Amino acid sequence: MTLVDRTDALATLLLQAEVERFFSAEAELLDERRFDQWLDLLHEDIRYWMPIARNASFDRPELEYTREKSEASWFDEGKDTLRKRVAQLQSGDHWAEEPRSRTTHLVANVRIATTDGADITAKSRFVVCAYRLEHDLDLFIGKRVDVLRREHNALKVLRRAIYLDQSVLLSRNLTTFF
């Protein structure tokens, strides 16, 4: 291995570690309900999108997820709406989260797919457990594709696509972030 190869390999490892650390810290902010700090990790131009999964035939794979910015989705929004969701969560009379659910966000299988200038595309898997009141458990499992943008030497989420494996949502609400 040449010195140049070793330098590239080291840079790749450092980037991998940085992105994983970023996702872990983000999950911690959500689980500790530090939502204002979580918002700070999102780019002002973020697109936060969770399509609805459909059962599609093998020759129509494009039908499997509803399309961004034209079809129905679970979420398809920018930072303005996310700020409102945070404000609602912090209000104390948003009954769907009062008392608040206990959540655990796990992000795994993080893989840097591409890097393009300041933008890093990372693919990952998530497991989100939300326990609520005495007996309620909501379990959300799926895949994420994030575009992280480096600005002033900090990463921000510029785009988040969240592919939930469920088709019919088996939970009454989506009051957590992914």
Partner 1 sequence: MNFSDLIDVEAGTLSREAFSSEEIYRRELERVFMPAWNFVGHTSQLARAGDFFQSRCGTESVIVTRGEGSAIQVLLNSCRHRGMPVCRYDTGNTSGFVCSYHGWSYGLDGALTGVPKFKERYQGRLDRPRWGLIRARVAVFYGSIWATFDDAAPPLEDYLGADMQFYLRSLLQGPDGADDGYEVIGGIVKWQVPCNWKFGAENFAGDHYHGYSHISVERLSVGLSGKTSRHNFAAVKTPRQAMSVADPKRGHTIRASVYQALGAYDPQEGAPDAVNDYYRACHEERQRRLGDKARLMIHGGVIFPNTHFNSAGRTTIGLWLPLSAARTEIWRWLFVPKNAPAIVKDTLREYYLRYAGPGGMVEQDDMENWTAAQRGTQSLVARKYPFNYQLAMGLARRSRPDEWLGNEVTITEDVAEHNQRAFYAHWARLIAAP
Q: What is the binding site for partner 1 (CB under 8 A)?
A: 50-52, 54-57, 60, 63, 66-67, 69-77, 80-81, 84-85, 87-88, 91-96, 167-175
The CA distance from 48 to 32, in Å, is 21
Q: How far is the CB of 80 from partner 1 (least distance, A)?
A: 6
Nearest one of 167, 171, 169, 174 to 63, comparing CA atoms = 167
Nearer to partner 1, 53 or 122 (CB): 53
| Least CB distance to partner 1 at residue 131 (A) | 15
Which of residues 5 and 134 has its CB atom nearest to partner 1 in the complex? Answer: 134
For residue 60, what are the contacts with CB-CB under 8 A and spacing of at least 6? Answer: none
Complex with partner 1: residue 19 or 53, whichever CB lies closer = 53
Pairing type for strands 154-164 and 119-132 reads unpaired
Give the Cα separation of 98 and 113 in Å (integer): 39
Q: Is the distance from CB of 103 to CB of 130 less than 8 angstroms?
A: yes
Name the minimum Å distance from CB 141 to partner 1: 16
CA atoms within 13 A on the CB side of 142: 19
Considering beta carbons, is residue 20 or 78 the nearer one to partner 1? 78
